[in-house]
Amino acid sequence: MQLPAKKHIFAIPGSLRSGSSNHAVLNFLKSMAPADIAFTIYDRLVDIPPFDPGNDHDRPHEAVSELRNFITNADAVIICTPEYAYGIPGQLKNALDWTVSSGSFTGKLTALITASTGGENAHEALKKVLGAIDANRPEEATVLISFIRSKMDGQGNITDEQTTDNLKAVLSTVINAIK
Ligand SMILES: Cc1cc2nc3c(=O)[nH]c(=O)nc-3n(C[C@H](O)[C@H](O)[C@H](O)COP(=O)(O)O)c2cc1C
């Protein structure tokens, strides 16, 4: 008898900061995921080179190839990001630009969590970017969490019940869609 392969969620944090609240949100989701779901939090965003259309071909920088493969092989992607200067953090946008030509996101179930002080601008901009790269982004898997830092304790635990409920709802939507 062959056991079904594990379903795989690939999570991309938009913050490079050590102790990031967006990393804490993804760690919370990972802790909530059932044992038969593999949940990988991407840790190489920092290694993605600046997007250069002149180098955007079948054999790009190794970190770009790896990122594209992670996305392609995942059953679902979760992006969780802050807003910087009223926009998408540069390194996250840069990474997404590398996926335009590869079509890695085409039809890919993608949840969007913007966890920031305000976050409305990055959230709206990311909806457009995900639309441009043809991601499948259900509204039920799209959530804006403003004042994120006031909703966590010093250890990165989410202390706000509404926020944990919203995050659990996002995770359920993703898992139900891929099972
Ligand atoms: C350079 C910089 C610019 C920022 N600009 C914004 C902003 O425009 N809107 C916003 O909601 N938060 C802004 N913030 C606050 C971040 O949302 C907040 O620090 C958030 O916790 C960062 O996410 P992280 O904890 O995952 O690193 C900014 C933070 C930095 C460092």
Contacts of 127 (CB under 8 A, 6+ apart): 112, 137, 142
Q: What is the tens place of the pLDDT at every residue in 96-145?
A: 999 999 999 999 999 999 999 999 999 999 999 999 999 999 999 999 99
Stated length of the chain: 179
Q: Which atom of ligand 1 is nearest to the CA of 22?
A: 26
Best probe residue, ligand 1, of 80, 81, 116, 120 (max atoms within 8 Å of C-beta): 116
Residue with tokens 């002149």: 54
Ligand 1: distance of its center to the CA of 118 in Å?
8
In the prediction, which pLDDT does 32 show? 98
CATH of 7-178, one of 2.60.40.1180, 3.60.15.10, 3.40.50.800, 3.40.50.360: 3.40.50.360
Surface-to-core class of residue 143, CB atoms within 10 Å of its CB (0-12 exposed, 13-18 middle, 19+ buried): buried
Ligand 1: distance of its center to the CA of 140 in Å?
24
Lowest-pLDDT range of 1-10, 26-35, 115-124: 1-10
CA separation for the pair 4, 2 (Å, rounded):
6
Confidence (pTM): 0.97
Ligand 1: distance of its center to the CA of 60 in Å?
30
Q: What is the tens place of the pLDDT at every residue in 41-92?
A: 999 999 999 999 999 888 999 999 999 999 999 999 999 999 999 999 999 9
